Amino acid sequence: MSTYDKPLPELTEENRPFWDSLRERSTLSLQRCDACGHIRYPVGRVCPECLAPGATWTDVSGGGEVLSRIVFHQVYNQAFADDVPYNVVLVQLDEGPRMFSNVVGIPNDEVQVGLRVRLHCDPVTDEVTIPRFIPEEP
């Protein structure tokens, strides 16, 4: 695998199931509260709905809708200079949580609020696969 010079997430025991599901199975796995069933992201020790501590990792569909979008034309971090312009989107996942990411595979001007998307796994290192999104096929 080629060198990846962009910032990477810190893998911890708490978030490792999230990153492992992407890398090993190309699946988005999120925490489901054992007490109330709320699906949460980002990873947390307690449920933001009921404050219960227990959760089970649950595979979700990876489908969602672009809720908000922006295209960056300025270099804020030198590691992303070759990517400018690039989009950053807030995806409303079908199961409830929202996730910041990118839509890939289409021009930035085609990324619009309301666009249906699905998970696209981008293996950037041997350890880390980044969750990105592609347009859902009609």
DSSP string, 75-106: -SSGGGGGG-SEEEEEEEETTS-EEEE-B-SS
Q: What is the pLDDT of residues 37-82, one digit of tens each?
A: 999 999 999 999 999 999 999 999 999 999 999 999 999 999 999 9
pTM: 0.94
36/110 Cα distance (integer angstroms):
38
94-121 residue pLDDT tens:
999 999 999 999 999 999 999 999 999 9
Distance in angstroms (rounded) separating the CA atoms of residues 23 and 17? 10
CA-closest candidate to residue 22, choices 50, 59, 54? 59
CB atoms within 10 A of CB 125: 13
